[in-house]
Structure 1
């Protein structure tokens, strides 16, 4: 990342775990020679088996890191993250908290690392200076987001309901100063996703919906999207598919959509994993030819996005996203 030709930050990110890179030390020393703040976008830390790794990172300019902790209990970390050296990983995390902005993350399994275990983990992180923790709701079924046919991940493992998960975040945030938020929801500090619902003056500034189109969304977001569009005069209902996360909707989800409920124009989530012509075929198989178009990529911010944002920035994102969605409805919808 650069500004006016000057390097302002180097970010390590991607599909893998940097702690498991075979030439991680060489990479960090090379990047450190550039004398720019270093940001590691994600690591589990389980590839690090030497406490001196923390010194390596600090000495080479680490300024921010996202670190999956699961629990501050080494035994749980070893069992569920398959960390061969959990005590060392936690020592590294502890030292990094003293010298860099650390944002922890934990996938929450009911009965495993929630309840008192989660309280201990949050207290442990806060005492060591972590900036925040993102709690990730465990997914164990296709409709919860396992789209590669690899579910269940843990046979028989219960999953928190959305209401339970939201209540956990609200409760634990009330007892801690560091930021605690969750994905797929929620951020108590900002009020997102869909913080705009608490801002009636901003809702009034959105364009009015003047045409009819069916907006498809995930099961979690659909009620919120419906409320906002209704405030803007929409008559057509938002259609919720069985998949909870809109960005993970696949063609299989469309096959169970009741076609009789659809308008002649159907708007898909911008990031849905669907080939548009195939979607048009599936949604037109009752003989009504339907126009399928894409909506905005983002309508709001989940915790992974809002963790580094202000409330005003989230509201601006939502205003832009819904203004664009309403423009698409009015451009491609039917009278």
Structure 2
């Protein structure tokens, strides 16, 4: 992330994503984020876009303005653990998180969608309700860029407050490292899914958190508590990997049970590709609801 300005970084990511999309033979990122939707029997064929059909070999119909408006709120974790990184292996998690949120916000604004922002650590720091207006993107980018390092995380306390603040149904994009205890998180996430929000979770990790690639005995600091400990990486690696894998397996199971698409990324991953992965993902909650309803009928 050599570009210092968050606004310029976000724009560069979106332009890189769009350039790659034009070069790639792959098609079909989620029509929630486009000005088109797939043709359905009964649609007026006069609104078929023949140029898009020729390029994609699929039938797309132009959306009307009332079909394109999306409300998206970004919930971005700026707790102390998000300050990890900033070395030759990967940037700080907080910088990666803010750039991802800024890039998606930039993209959605180009689609005339409403965007909002909430930042939190152990409590909600700031809440900007989703709106579509000329200065909204500038306001959100400014707040993202100036967020200082925070305190320890209390995901559930923050989520409980945010669930009451985000009223109207929409998309909620939750960006965090999700490394805090998960005991209460499922209940708190259900406050959003029960209100029929389309919740998506982006877990941002530093590569060293994934593979624990340290060679020499070092002093490690708990980013949340501030406590220091001396560890021999060779002796601690197996235990660390077991706990890391168990934590993420539980996190994945929780997201799956809630019907929440989860994206695990590292700060070394190119943001253009992460943005494409995110936009290609269709909501999972409809599938979960359909399966549950089938189960009830079968019973």
Which structure dedicates a bigger proportion of its chain to helix? 2
- Is TM-score (shorter-chain normalized) higher than 0.5? no
The structure showing larger relative contact order (alpha-carbon pairs under 8 Å, at least 6 residues apart) is: 2
**Larger of the two Rg values belongs to structure:** 1
Q: What is the TM-score when the length of structure 2 is the normalising length?
A: 0.32
